[in-house]
A and B are shown apart, each in its own frame.
Chain A
């Protein structure tokens, strides 16, 4: 326990340090001390001494990855995941911080539950930032007490899993958000268009006899929310954006200096609805896998800066909730451990997006979305949250070896590029690949 309390010092030598916020992209040494970044400097020029050294030659040293969107399933659904197992998976995936969604049982709509999530008894191995419900029980009817939720440690509000559908409630939420500097995170789905649907609308859904969700169900909500954000000056963050159409209002908003950000998941930039074959429920999530054209548009938006963050929407489910008829299966897949490998394979390898941009999407970008001070950059004085990865390493992902409690992934047996070698939280190594 004394180790926990005092992380000591760690010198990371010879790594390729990428810190988009500071404009650093060079071979440098990095010294961590007392849970903070002490110094970044030319190789062997750092003055301070260290208790421990980490040889990072050939590896990328990046600000700790932050996942804006995970489901840790506590309180109430520990058979799917716990804060301990979910954060262990996060550490293995290179994430030094995760933001957990409030659609648990009960819904995290009170400061008490926000506090509960952050208690040391939960056994988190990385930073956990709770996102609280925007409305009571996420029913979309009565706003929660944003101020007290924020005071308890919540970094944003959302009714994720469901949208805030009512215009009036969403307007009030954004109004409050502008006063509190606190984002409202929207699951953009007009559920009136998606009843009984289990995948994306299109040729594949028609052929499989499955009811399809039109892309318009997402775009319609994003469109409205952008207008409300403009009206109120509130901060809107669009979760798991998945369609070309929904990117249009986002681009418009960014040009017009409206405070709108968005995230994209690895599965939406990797797969399309054509990958839904044999009714494999590991390809069922919400938003669903979209068309090839949507995926193309998302790749462009990841590259040109329209997208602010990659978030996994890690959604663990027990086998008995997935090994059922497609239309009855739970929505969602796990994603923490495959995110970086997919990003480097798909974005860097296949689409020539720079490693620097990828690091930005995993760290600097998400830190900005939530205004997390002292994170998302390796500047001296910041928290010593660091992700070290080998960008060239090819490896095969085995679902059975996942740290998550659940196994619902479409990427079992996939060859990935880019492997997390060490995850450092507050100066302590919480995951190390051997």
Chain B
């Protein structure tokens, strides 16, 4: 089996397979724009058989609704066949290593692997040993590149350009791969980013993430004059673990219609989902005309179509 030879290699392959998308951080602005441009030409309502005969494996070590279904619809809209492998009900449960799972999927004929994993860097490990494009669908607290791309796509449907925008990201930045990818992406376009939350969620070190990132503890300061207000899900168990009282968090950081008024009149409200009404935002905000939360999900499909087309070399 080819895999056994590989696993005895001392050093990983020098480069990742072409078309891999492991994170936003290593991409340059031009590359990001080309993916977004391609995404605008993708229409799930009019399927294109660009990837006919290709096998896309969705390897999910963590639960997911949005990302998984979105990648699946995207792949199928391009004519690819999809195979879903989840940690429960597979050999992963029996203790198979990540790389052995990768070699197995490669042997089955995977042309691309979309992976979600609870550990940061898992897609990088996979991509450095398996010679098919690997797409990161979220790795631990690290990155969620397809989410950042679909968010940029969404913002650009409402704003002419990213440059000069003011974006507030509110909530648990520390644990959030969405926030990291968003910061990496927006920073490359000169966006001014304000991260907001209690120190347990938004440590000062977060300002080192990318140029143009600052931190505030005051919601009003973050939201005032913002073009985009991005909210993150608050996991109750994490509040408890960090000794933050739920009521205190709501009092200080919940997005309410009154607080949203501080943002620009034409600002939009974003959230990667799943949203918890009454916690990080009120129902009114979620359903307000400024909210693009549902649109983000919709935009996930063409964005991921573009990512898959790029991965499998069908960019033109």
Q: Which A residues contact B (CB, under 8 angstroms)?
A: 202-203, 206-211, 278-280, 319-320, 323-328, 399-400, 407, 412
A251 to B39, CA, bound (A): 61
Closest to B140 in A: A209
Contacts A210-B121, A210-B141, A400-B10 known; 16 new A-B pairs at CB < 8 A: A202-B205, A203-B208, A206-B203, A209-B139, A209-B140, A209-B141, A209-B180, A210-B140, A278-B124, A279-B124, A319-B8, A320-B97, A323-B99, A324-B97, A327-B121, A327-B140
Closest to B175 in A: A209
CB proximity of B104 to chain A, nearest CB, Å: 16
- Chain A to chain B contacts (Cβ below 8 Å), 23 pairs: A206-B174, A206-B206, A208-B120, A208-B121, A209-B141, A209-B143, A211-B141, A279-B120, A279-B124, A279-B125, A319-B7, A320-B7, A323-B129, A324-B99, A325-B117, A325-B119, A325-B121, A325-B125, A326-B119, A327-B121, A328-B119, A407-B10, A412-B11
Question: By CB atoms of chain A within 10 A, which of B119, B139, B143, B180 has the most?
Answer: B119
- Which residues of A are found within 8 Å of B122, using beta-carbon distances? 325
Q: Binding site of B, secondary structure by majority: helix, strand, loop or mixed?
A: loop
Closest to B8 in A: A319
- Which residues of B are found within 8 Å of A327, using beta-carbon distances? 119-121, 140
- Indicate if B55 sits at the interface (CB-CB under 8 A): no
Contact partner, B120, options A210, A323, A324, A407, Cβ 8 Å:
A210
- Indicate if B142 sits at the interface (CB-CB under 8 A): yes
B 95-128 contacts with A by CB, 8 A: 97-99, 117, 119-122, 124-125, 128
- Indicate if B220 sits at the interface (CB-CB under 8 A): no
A280 to B8, CA, bound (A): 16
B: number of interface residues (CB 8 Å) = 31
Q: Is there an interface contact between A209 and B97, defined as CB atoms closer than 8 Å?
A: no
- Which residues of B are found within 8 Å of A210, using beta-carbon distances? 120-121, 140-142
- Which residues of A are found within 8 Å of B124, using beta-carbon distances? 278-279
Q: Which B residues contact A (CB, under 8 angstroms)?
A: 7-8, 10-12, 25, 97-99, 117, 119-122, 124-125, 128-129, 139-143, 174, 177, 180, 203, 205-206, 208-209
Q: Is there an interface contact between A209 and B117, defined as CB atoms closer than 8 Å?
A: no
- Which residues of A are found within 8 Å of B125, using beta-carbon distances? 279, 323-326
- Given A207-B25, A209-B142, A278-B128, A326:B120 Cβ within 8 A: yes
CB proximity of B197 to chain A, nearest CB, Å: 14
